[in-house]
Amino acid sequence: MRFFSRYTFRFSLCLVLVTLMFVLICTCLIPPVLKNALLESKRNFMLQSSEFVLTPLENGHFNSVMASVPKDNAMRLIIADSRLTVIHDSATQGNIKGKYLVLPGVDKAFSGEAYYNAYSEKNDFVYNMLRSFTFDGNDYVLFMRYTDGDSAQLFKTCKQVCIFSGILLLLVPVALLIAQIVSFNKSITNLSNSITHLTTGKYVPGQADTASDEIADISRHLDEFAAHQAKTEELRRTFVSDASHELKTPLAAVKLLSDTILLTPKMSHEDVREFLTDISNEIDRLTRICTRLLQITKFDAFSDKADLVPLDLATVAENVSRMLSKSATAAGLDLRCEIQDGCYVSANYDLVFQVFYNLIENAIKYGADGNEVRIFLYQKDSSVIFIVDDDGAGIPENDLKRIFDRFYRVDKARSRATGGTGLGLSIVATAVATCRGTVEAQNRSPHGARFIVRFPSCPKPTANEDGEPS
């Protein structure tokens, strides 16, 4: 059980404080209050008892009053005259008859006030009452003492119960505190081990603490970070291995072709020329791969901090189609554009240019079986939609999901023949995502491919935003 969950911790703290207050009340406040209450509780009893004996005393029945005092020593009556000489004492032990009665409160008693005081003595509570009375024209003082062992015993028991329950109550927060410290230590140790494993590269994601405390939160963030790092590392490894593989193929071809020229001394001029043309093509291919790799690296770094500004995609689409119209004509295709003006999105010119360029170039490359490539750009609701249609062979259904992966090519031989690197669509996906858009590939009926890019539209900028009048 974890005690460090946010609210549990706060509740525990409150519990500790409340318990400490209880302990304080039990041990420091209740016993003295109870004692005072017990000592005060006999004031009326003593007053009534003294009233009870004063009437016969005022009539001079001293002896009969003294004789009526029980012999158990719980009650003691002393009568002194106006000079404070004791004339009657009911005590059998320590009788002070004939001696002076020296007690606090005698003055008050003679002034007519009933003087009461009580205190605890060894195992007893002692209650004293001093009253004055007159008999036969003379003043007397009555001293009444009641010694109560039962109340003292009751108080002692109550005090013990208070202290005992105080200690018991104190054990609860102490136990809670120990449990929290143990739990905290365990969590901190686990976290520390996880960090150590992370720094030494031995951390295996999926070990996050499942509790709901703050340390578990850190552990979960750490786990997410480790999982992200592992995924990034895996992607990096795959990318490096794929890139090496892609670079190796043209390099091997160059090596083979150049070795063949070197090892064939009497090669005809035409053959040498043909081999050199092949070498040149392979070098072009290497250049294309390197250019695309550099683009990917650039766009990857770009993705976090791309400068997105309001951009009319119509301008970009027109620029790209103008640029590729010659390639389309060379491939025997018509490049038909239906471009709506003022399709503003928050984007980066270079990124969108690359997206449009790659998609239209692919449509020309892979749609050469048809007659035309169609480009549409328009705004619908809160989106700007860019569509490239071709009448080529389309994309096999199984490959649709993977064509945006790096180095993925449907038909390696065909792609190679068309100078493909398998990186164009992955660049498209990264660039579109950076501009907060989406891209999808579909097949058209009866044949051909369709690429749809959607960007969230943005309002046309005012003069202040792009420096030109709106």
User: Which residue number, 217 or 411, has a Cβ lying nearer to ligand ADP?
Assistant: 411
Minimum distance between the CB of residue 247 and ligand ADP, rounded to whole angstroms?
15
From CA 459, how far away is CA 384, in angstroms rounded? 11
For position 295 contacting ligand ADP by CB under 6 A, the verdict is: no
Name the helix (H) or strand (E) containing 460.
Answer: none
Burial class for 311, CB neighbours closer than 10 Å (0-12, 13-18, 19+): buried
For position 80 contacting ligand ADP by CB under 6 A, the verdict is: no
User: Which residue number, 54 or 355, has a Cβ lying nearer to ligand ADP?
Assistant: 355
DSSP letters, 403-438, are TTSTT--SSHHHHHHTT--S-HHHHHHHHHHHTT-E
Q: Are residues 362 and 340 in contact, defined by beta-carbon separation less than 8 angstroms?
A: no
User: Which residue number, 173 or 392, has a Cβ lying nearer to ligand ADP?
Assistant: 392
From CA 437, how far away is CA 3, in angstroms rounded? 46
Q: Find the binding residues for ligand ADP in span 439-468 (CB under 6 A).
A: 449
Amino acid at residue number 58: E
User: Which residue number, 86 or 293, has a Cβ lying nearer to ligand ADP?
Assistant: 293
For position 173 contacting ligand ADP by CB under 6 A, the verdict is: no
Q: Are strands 75-81 and 86-89 parallel, antiparallel or unpaired?
A: antiparallel
Q: Find the binding residues for ligand ADP in span 410-429 (CB under 6 A).
A: 410-411, 415, 420-426
For position 367 contacting ligand ADP by CB under 6 A, the verdict is: yes
From CA 245, how far away is CA 248, in angstroms rounded? 5
From CA 403, how far away is CA 203, in angstroms rounded? 33
User: Both ends of the chain: CA-CA distance in Å?
Assistant: 65
Minimum distance between the CB of residue 410 and ligand ADP, rounded to whole angstroms?
3
Going along 217-281, which residue ranges are E strands?
none
| 372-391 footprint of ligand ADP as x/- string (CB under 6 A) | ------------------x-
For position 403 contacting ligand ADP by CB under 6 A, the verdict is: yes
Q: State the DSSP code for 376.
A: E
Question: Which one of 166, 250, 370, 392 is in contact with ligand ADP (CB under 6 A)?
Answer: 392
User: Which residue number, 363 or 384, has a Cβ lying nearer to ligand ADP?
Assistant: 363
Question: Which one of 2, 145, 409, 454 is in contact with ligand ADP (CB under 6 A)?
Answer: 409
Question: Which one of 395, 431, 432, 453 is in contact with ligand ADP (CB under 6 A)?
Answer: 395
Query: How many distinct helices (H) and strands (E) make up the chain?
Result: 13, 12
User: Which residue number, 185 or 291, has a Cβ lying nearer to ligand ADP?
Assistant: 291
Q: Which residue is nearest to ligand ADP (CB)?
A: 420
Q: Which residues bind ligand ADP (CB under 6 A)?
A: 358, 362-363, 366-367, 390, 392, 394-395, 403, 408-411, 415, 420-426, 449
